[in-house]
Amino acid sequence: MPAPSRWTIPARSLAAFALAVVAIPAVSLSGAWLSEAAGLPRAGMLRLAVDLGWVAVAGSVGAFAGVRTAAIAKRAHVCAIFALYLSIAAYAVATMGTDFPRWFTAGLLASLPLQVLLGWWLAAGHDRRQAARAGRAAWARGPAGVRTASPRARSRTRR
């Protein structure tokens, strides 16, 4: 695989943060539209709970997109995305005042680590599967690309 150009890594980092930020309103608005289509009322505790669930899904999707887009330092990107989400949520809670119930604001802040960890875990799972496939292929080739027998077959021949 050729080495990335000088601008590829910073461009992917900027794209990762842009996707992480854009995912929140995009998924939240899609969720609001789906809630309307499902016939949920426009107000009430049930609608707030559903909206809180969509915010959690949006945060997970944003973290997933940010981590998958980042070329390197995925853990640093996750930490930066978490700090970004935390600052956005803290600002939202501070400006909401008493317009929303306390359980909603507490759920908004308490779900942030879970959102980011879920997005990171899902993105890392794809990387782990890809690395496992590459590892199996490299093992099957053996040294210098020569196909070798399995360790079990080799242990039987050594006896």
pLDDT of residue 126: 63
Do the domain assignments include residue 68? Answer: yes
Q: Are the C-beta atoms of 26 and 58 separated by less than 8 Å?
A: yes
Task: Evaluate whether residue 52 is within a structural domain.
Answer: yes
Low-confidence winner among 65-69, 116-120, 139-143 (lowest mean pLDDT): 139-143
Residue 2 resides in a domain: no
Q: Is residue 56 part of a domain?
A: yes
Number of structural domains in the chain: 1
| Mean pLDDT of the residues in the chain | 79
Query: What letter represents residue 8's amino acid?
Result: T
* 146 has pLDDT over 80: no
Would the pLDDT of 64 be above 70? yes
pLDDT in tens, 83-132: 988 898 899 889 987 888 889 888 989 998 988 888 888 888 766 666 66
Domain that holds residue 89: 8-158
Those residues with Cβ within 8 angstroms of residue 7's Cβ, 6 or more apart along the chain or in another chain: none
Quote the pTM value: 0.70
Residue 1 lies in a domain: no
Considering the domain boundaries, does residue 3 fall inside one?
Answer: no
Torsion of CA 141, 142, 148, 152, to 10 degrees: -120
The per-residue b/e assignment along 68-83, b for 16 or more CB within 10 angstroms, e otherwise, is bbbeeebeebbebbbe
Q: pLDDT, tens digit, for every residue of 17-63? A: 888 888 888 998 898 899 888 888 888 888 889 988 998 999 899 88
- Residue whose structure tokens are 């996707």: 19
Q: Is residue 20 part of a domain?
A: yes
Question: Which residues in 1-33 are b (16+ Cβ under 10 Å) and which e?
Answer: eeeeeeeeeeeebeebbebbbebbeebbeebbe
